[in-house]
Amino acid sequence: MKAICKIILILLITVSSYENFAQSLDTSTYQRIKSVLVQTGHQQVEELRTQVDRVTSEPVPYLKALVNEAGLRVYAKERAIMLLQYYPSADTEKFLEQKINDETDRSSVRTFAVKSYANGFYWRNQTKVEGFLKEKRDDSQLRTVIDQSLSEVKTQGIKKPNLQLDTETLQRNKK
């Protein structure tokens, strides 16, 4: 019973601190980013990123606040989480880890947090990312997406250097 009370207290403090944080953000910028995220229809993450970057050069606090906004549609929260991979920082990394750990959150939000975390942070610290995600493999909601995400970033890593090498070789051969 004490553990449940502690969890509820922590959640209340967290929610109120996010609400206070969201209130300190520029309301106009917040609403403009929100309108980008709630657009219906399929949009590529890169396209969303371009639109958000047009609104502000520092979108992370707005994206985090939107993820935690009560009542925001889940697909908009998922988009905000996926965009966080493009703004890697210690703060973003911690936020995504918290979302992955939050078993009270929707499984789709946690799933997108895994993808964004793997894509955004794997090449910054492979050992840490693999270790953190492998600890979460026991979670039945995350097991498959963890395996897929790690496999994808490893495959991308194999392709990226080869493409770069091929481009460099072509440029040298042109000269």
Backbone angles phi, psi at 73, to 5 degrees: -55, 145
Nearest to 92 by CA among 111, 73, 69, 67: 67
Give the domain ranges of the chain. Answer: 1-87, 89-175
Res 42: pLDDT: 83
Res 6: pLDDT: 52
Retrieve residue 128's tokens: 């840490």
Res 162: pLDDT: 42
- Residue 149 φ/ψ region, left for φ over 0, alpha for ψ in the -120 to 50 degree band, beta for the rest: alpha
Residue type for position 90: A
Res 43: pLDDT: 84
Burial class of residue 124 in the structure, from the number of CB atoms within 10 Å of its CB (0-12 exposed, 13-18 middle, 19+ buried): exposed
Mean pLDDT by 10 residues, the chain (175 residues): 54 49 82 94 90 96 97 96 96 98 95 97 94 94 95 77 45 48
- For tokens 């969890």, name the residue: 7
Res 161: pLDDT: 43
Res 169: pLDDT: 45
